[in-house]
Amino acid sequence: MKKLGQTPGCGLIFASARHQLPEVLEEAARLLGSVPLIACHTAGEYTEAGLTRGGLVVLLLASAHLICTSHFAEDVADVELAAQQLSEGFTRQSQAARSLGLGLSTTLLLVDSMAGTGEQLLQALQRHTRMFQSILGGAAGDDGAFQAPWVGSDQGSGPGAASALQFFHQSPWGVGIGHGLKPQTPPMKVTRAAGNVLYELDGRPAFEAYQNYAATRGINLTSDDTRFLMENELGVMVLNQVHRARAPVGVGPEGEIKLVAQVPTGGSVCILHGEPDAMTEACRQAAEAAKEGLGGAKAAAVIVFDCVCRGAILGDAFDQEITALRTVFPETPICGFLTYGEIARTGGRLDGWHNTTCVVVAIPARSDGGTHK
């Protein structure tokens, strides 16, 4: 509040799971009043000053030329109902915003992805808003436990939930996406999958593919080594190119692998790995793309949704990624967290759910697009 110097129009809170989210939101309401807020638990949180574990970060935005409303859905298992709740009043608000010259819209979405419905929710929310608006955000974490991350807003909180800030604005926001991962195996066919569970690759238990790959690196992989899975994600391939990554978070008794998003039966996948330098460079390039997307405007704030798997791979070198962001945005406040999935659906594209990806969102500082301190 001291840095902002004025009444905030909205805010985001990213907090470690060691902090009770209802208490966090209650304290925020006491200090801020009835300001639209969204919040979630994380697997690590950071600002331009560095990464913390067990901490909490807050971003406040203020603008006389920005309309923002908050929304909450308590159960993402019911995808259609959740999408309706997260887009309530969208048509009426968009018409009012257009009359004020605020013809663009962006949704910042936070969601618990452990139910495996994050990708379907994203698609449903696009239908309930408009095709060519951006939906950006991340999946909540719980400090790597992969059990029950909490998501909240000024209207409520809980596990299995989703929240959203709906913005109407005039100037375009900048968005960049990067991962820096490379295939480590030949393509494999998904011969059986259901929901967010991958059962078979090339007709054999999916975990065998990981064991065989690990053996080539001299590792005797066991089903409880979730760190290896996180550091070697699954790449969904289209025309022999990696289209997006999927994070494996557990192994079942029959060798099935639980993912945080779906993979299509009949599709092709490979195992991915990234070297720290390549991943850091991919983050810098994503930041450059976000800056370019501002169309020459100065960035008021940068929000980063960064996969927990990238944090695991980079380890102590994660600060190099923050340094890469600061080389592009040297004087801009940066607020981010380590996610269980990254959301970047822009320009009407059909996909938008990512893993092991860095999504950089730059909010413009010009007076017609929103200001921030």
**pLDDT tens, position by position, 261-307:** 888 899 999 999 888 899 999 999 999 999 999 999 999 999 999 99
Continuous segment of H or E residues that includes residue 284:
helix 276-293
Q: What is the phi/psi pair of residue 85, to 5°?
A: -65, -35
Flag residues of the chain having pLDDT under 70: 348-351, 366-373
Token pair in block for residue 123:
């698609």
Give the closest residue to 166 by CA, choosing from 100, 101, 83: 83
pLDDT at 168 (0 to 100)? 95
pLDDT at 116 (0 to 100)? 82
> How many Å apart are CA 318 and CA 179, to the nearest integer?
14
Other Cβ atoms within 10 Å of 291 Cβ, number:
21
Q: What is the phi/psi pair of residue 36, to 5°?
A: -60, 125
SS3 126: helix
Could you report the per-residue pLDDT of 229-252, keeping only the tens digit for each? Answer: 988 989 888 877 787 888 888 899
Residue 368 corresponds to which amino acid?
A: D
Token pair in block for residue 343:
């959301």
Q: Tell the residue number behind the tokens 């999408």, with chain if given.
A: 83
> How many Å apart are CA 67 and CA 368, to the nearest integer?
11
Question: 331-344: string of b/e by CB count within 10 Å (b at 16+)?
Answer: ebbbbbbbbbbbbb
pLDDT at 109 (0 to 100)? 98
pLDDT at 312 (0 to 100)? 85
Q: Tell the residue number behind the tokens 């095709």, with chain if given.
A: 131
pLDDT at 121 (0 to 100)? 94
